[in-house]
Structure formats: structure tokens, C-alpha cells
């Protein structure tokens, strides 16, 4: 669903709150969910459920969100176009911070959250050109093009691989704890990993964050023949945090 230049530029004119709500709903829908719940949006925004409900109603009236009672919150066509422009800003900024300013992949999200509301469309286009028009950010998330097109790679969750199977890392959930675990294990995008075992959440070295109550996956970087062994420990990944190229 391409965005016209007028639609894309209008995203920069939205309030910070509007941008954050549109981006939140877009992110929930990105990987196949039907939409966002009011409760989920309230948690994400750090506000009361009543406040989230009021903001959603305002954006429904503005023609940016769609919400019927007892159903998920989704984006209208115009909301989708504006949200895509915001996501493009965020992911290009994350990429620039890592590639050009020396930030690590576990610390760029907060910086990009601040900057995305302040930079102009012109600056974003310059950053895109300076980076060589990247198609993914440091975590493997696809970067929408200037026309709003999003190319989603074919991925499968590491949770679906059996012990002993390997895959090449294609996308990682942007959670600081998980990213730090992977860094210590020498694992990044395009690293081939092997599933070592499955452990229960809460076991030694398991995720420090919250997550679904099913088995975490222990992975190890696969080194080419003759390459030195990794110095770090294996990475323990909560379910739903890493995807490999299909």
C-alpha cells in the first residue's frame, strides 16, 4: 500500500502521541496479528486503559484508526500510510546510529524514539541515501521504502527448529536483554546458529525479561571450519525473540 509524498510528509505533522499510537498498532500488525487491544496499547504507552481508550477514539474520529466494540484496533488506509512513514524514520535512525555513530544495537531504540519526532523528511531521505538505501535495520526489521512499500523476508521462528538444526539469523526482537545475550555469544544478523537445547524459563541463564511460559531455546554460533571457537556463552532465547531465514 504505497504512500504518496503528501501522505508521507503528513506523518511529520502529527502530534507525538498520534505518531506513537499509529506506530504501536502498526508494530502489532506487522507480523500477522489481527490488531492491537486497548489494554495492550495502555501497557505499551504507560497510560491508564481509559486514557488509551480516549486516544483511540480520537484517532478513530480523525480517520486514522478503526475500532469497533470488542474488536481489535487496526489502522485505516491513511493511518497505515502515516504509520509506515514513522516506522521508516525510526528504523533508518536506528541504522544510522549503529552504522555511523558507534551505538550498539541494544541501545539505539530509545535514541531513535526521541529523534523520530524531531527530524524532517528531508533529513531522513539524506540519511537513507548516505546509508545506501538499506532494506533492514540493525535487528533485521524491514525498512519501508519512500513509497511505503515494505518487503518482508521469509523467516521462521527459531522455536520451530529441532535440537541440532541450524539456521541463519534474519531478525531479532528488539529487547535489550536478548540483544546483550546474543552479543556475548558472538551472534548477530546473518550468523548461522545451531539449536543446542531447550530449557524452561527461569532456569540458569534464561531470559531476564518477561515472556510466554514455554521453553526457551539455547543457541550457539556455528563457526566455519578452522575458525576459533566463540569466547562467549551460549545464548538463551525466550520464545518469540529470534527468527532465521527460511
Cα 179 from Cα 199, distance rounded (Å): 19
CATH code, 155-245: 2.30.30
Cα 198 from Cα 219, distance rounded (Å): 9
Cα 115 from Cα 95, distance rounded (Å): 13
C-alpha cell at 131: 546509508
Strand partners, 109: none
Provide the residue ranges of all domains of the chain, joining segments of one domain with +. 1-152, 155-245
Neighbours of 85 (CB within 10 A): 27
CATH code, 1-152: 1.10.10.10
1-152 shares its CATH topology with 155-245: no
pTM of the predicted model over 0.85: no
Per-residue pLDDT 10s for the chain (246 aa) are 444 433 444 455 578 999 999 999 999 988 778 899 999 999 999 999 999 999 999 999 999 999 998 899 999 999 999 999 999 999 999 999 999 999 999 999 999 999 999 899 999 999 999 999 999 999 999 999 999 899 888 999 999 999 999 999 999 999 899 999 999 999 999 999 999 999 987 644 444 444 445 789 999 999 877 666 655 689 999 999 999 996
Strand partners, 235: 219
Amino acid at each position: 500500500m504505497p504512500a504518496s509524498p503528501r501522505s508521507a510528509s503528513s506523518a511529520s505533522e502529527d502530534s507525538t502521541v498520534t505518531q506513537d499510537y499509529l506506530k504501536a498498532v502498526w508494530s502489532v500488525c506487522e507480523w500477522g496479528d489481527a490488531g492491537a487491544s486497548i489494554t495492550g496499547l495502555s501497557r505499551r504507552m504507560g497510560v491508564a486503559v481509559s486514557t488509551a481508550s480516549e486516544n483511540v477514539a480520537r484517532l478513530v474520529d480523525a480517520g486514522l484508526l478503526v475500532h469497533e466494540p470488542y474488536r481489535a484496533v487496526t489502522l485505516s488506509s491513511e493511518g497505515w500510510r502515516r504509520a509506515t512513514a514513522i516506522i521508516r524514520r525510526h528504523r533508518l535512525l536506528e541504522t544510522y546510529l549503529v552504522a555511523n555513530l558507534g551505538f550498539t544495537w541494544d541501545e539505539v531504540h530509545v535514541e531513535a524514539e526521541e529523534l523520530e519526532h524531531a527530524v524532517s523528511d528531508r533529513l531522513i531521505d539524506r540519511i537513507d541515501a548516505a546509508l545506501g538505501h538499506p532494506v533492514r535495520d540493525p535487528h533485521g526489521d524491514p525498512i519501508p521504502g519512500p513509497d511505503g512499500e515494505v518487503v518482508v523476508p521469509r523467516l521462521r521462528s527459531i522455536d520451530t527448529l529441532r535440537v541440532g538444526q541450524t539456521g541463519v539469523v534474519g531478525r531479532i526482537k528488539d529487547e535489550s536483554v536478548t540483544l546483550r545475550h546474543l552479543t556475548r555469544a558472538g551472534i548477530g544478523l546473518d550468523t548461522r546458529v545451531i539449536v543446542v537445547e531447550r530449557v524452561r524459563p527461569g532456569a540458569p541463564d534464561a531470559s531476564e525479561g518477561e515472556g510466554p511460559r514455554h521453553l526457551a531455546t539455547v543457541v550457539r554460533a556455528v563457526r566455519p571450519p578452522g575458525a576459533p571457537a566463540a569466547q562467549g556463552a551460549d545464548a538463551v532465547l525466550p520464545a518469540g525473540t529470534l527468527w532465521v531465514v527460511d
